[in-house]
Amino acid sequence: MRQDIRLGTFDGIEVGLNWSVVVILALFAWELAAYVLPVRPGHVSAADWIAGVVGAVVLLLSVLAHEFAHAIVARRNDVKVRSVTLFVFGGISQLEGEAHTPGADFRIAAVGPATSAALAGVFGALEAILVVAGGHGLPVAVLSWLWQINLLLAVFNLIPGAPLDGGRVLRAALWRRWGDRGRASVAAAHAGRGIGGVLIALGVLAFVGTGSVVGLWPALIGFFVFTAAGAEERYTRVQEAMETLTAAEVMTDRPLTVLSGAPVTGVADYLWQNRADAAAVTNEAGQLIGAVTAHAVHAALGGHRSAATAADLTIPLSAIPIARPDEPMGTLLDRIMSSGGNPALVLDADGRQLVGLVTTADIERAAAFGIAGRQTQRVGSSQPPVDGGPGIL
């Protein structure tokens, strides 16, 4: 999940928001201020709006606590955490790798709903204390809404289907029973697709029956669950296909290399002529500084950035997986996905010379056709190769 708004780094974990969070934050604030809090519906005061915004922000922090709970437990179970990103349907903790045992998988998954349930208990207790002390009005109403929605989040996330936390719990249970993580992951994904389909149907029926767009919310959530479950199943099958391969067997040999100062139009032509998905980027001294993807080049041209250069679109080395030819593809696949799908640069055993490049397209092709020991030869330019590549643009 892309981070459009970066909040910072906490304990080594990047925290950010997707733009969709701004939309959901506004919707929740509006729902609170216009429908939940007013004493007289239709008469919204400035205090109602302030309380609505405060409640929506606290809910956002509650979701962040849910995701950080996943991250903390993942670390304690020897799984590295790259980032936490909040988006319209909740949050995603981006893990570098997978749990090593069914027990660890269960603990990482279960702690999220447990955190939401605990927060519901805290907000509920605060509401009760305020009521006993004679409190009333907006503070009590906001606390009541917060404990109810946190409890709803806890219960919803326990539904046994990927990508929900309940799907992870189901996967852990099936993994322990069958002893096969891949098979368990596929089963959890199938359950998620079924649940997504049910939610879509319920949403459509609610919309048809009431005519209210509010009824479409279950359908939107169901669509997200359905598509995410399908993506998890595909990823699991790709992982299984990669288990017996190394980076050398999947990578594009002699990858294209472009100079950082090359114009984006020239890079686009060069990638198209060679049918390449990405190219390594070097500076004028021939030093490797990163990689550029065909997607980024096309986006730049579509955004009327024809004056840009390869340097403007380069993914820096710090954000790119660096691999050796003998690295297992199962491990490299996790690192590529953790980087957001950035291509991996494959260096020789000494770590000096570029010998290959692995993109998600390479991985998909290898998984689809079961190709091992692939000997891909690109048509290079007439210029001499640099760092093992077929040429520099």
* pLDDT above 80: residue 326: yes
Percent of the chain clearing pLDDT 70 (strictly above): 91
* pLDDT above 60: residue 248: yes
293, β-bridge pairs: 278
User: At a CB cut-off of 8 Å and minimum separation 6, what does 198 contact?
Assistant: 222
Q: Position 335: which residue type?
A: R
In order of 142, 197, 203, 205, 218, the CA distances from 209 in angstroms are: 30, 18, 10, 6, 14
Percent of the chain clearing pLDDT 90 (strictly above): 60
SS3 44: coil
What pLDDT is attached to residue 4?
A: 66
User: At a CB cut-off of 8 Å and minimum separation 6, what does 182 contact?
Assistant: 236, 237, 239, 240
Kindly write down the DSSP assignment for every residue of 56-108, as one continuous string.
Answer: HHHHHHHHHHHHHHHHHHHHHTT-EEEEEEEETTEEEEEEES--SSHHHHHHH
Looking at 274-309, list the stretches that DSSP marks H as alpha helix, in order from N- to C-terminal side. Answer: 294-302
What pLDDT is attached to residue 192?
A: 97
More confident: 215 or 310: 310
* pLDDT above 50: residue 242: yes
More confident: 386 or 215: 215
* pLDDT above 70: residue 312: yes
pLDDT tens for each residue of 187-241: 999 999 999 999 999 999 988 888 777 678 889 899 999 999 999 998 888 888 8
Contact 91, 64 (CB under 8 A): yes
Q: At what angle do helices 294-302 and 264-273 cross, to 10 degrees?
A: 130
Contact 105, 172 (CB under 8 A): yes
Tell me the mean pLDDT in the region 364-392: 49
Contact 56, 28 (CB under 8 A): yes
What pLDDT is attached to residue 246?
A: 94
pLDDT tens for each residue of 119-130: 999 999 999 999
Average pLDDT over the chain reads 87
Tell me the mean pLDDT in the region 338-357: 91
What pLDDT is attached to residue 315?
A: 96
246, β-bridge pairs: 328
What pLDDT is attached to residue 2?
A: 62
* pLDDT above 50: residue 388: no
Question: Active-site residues: which are they?
Answer: 67
* pLDDT above 70: residue 111: yes
Tell me the mean pLDDT in the region 174-192: 96
Smallest CA-to-CA distance from 240 within 189, 307, 193, 200 is with: 189
Q: How confident is the model at residue 384 (pLDDT cuts 50, 70, 90)?
A: very low
| pTM for the predicted model, two decimal places | 0.78
pLDDT tens for each residue of 3-42: 568 888 887 888 888 888 888 888 888 888 887 777 666 6
Placement of tokens 């790259």 in the chain: 82
**Strands, sheet with 5-10, edge to edge from the N-terminal-most edge strand:** 5-10, 13-17, 80-87, 90-96
What pLDDT is attached to residue 83?
A: 84
Structural domains of the chain ordered from first start: 5-242 (no CATH), 247-369 (3.10.580.10)
Q: How confident is the model at residue 383 (pLDDT cuts 50, 70, 90)?
A: very low
What pLDDT is attached to residue 94?
A: 79
* pLDDT above 60: residue 1: no
pLDDT tens for each residue of 33-86: 887 777 666 677 888 899 999 999 999 999 999 999 999 999 999 988 888 888
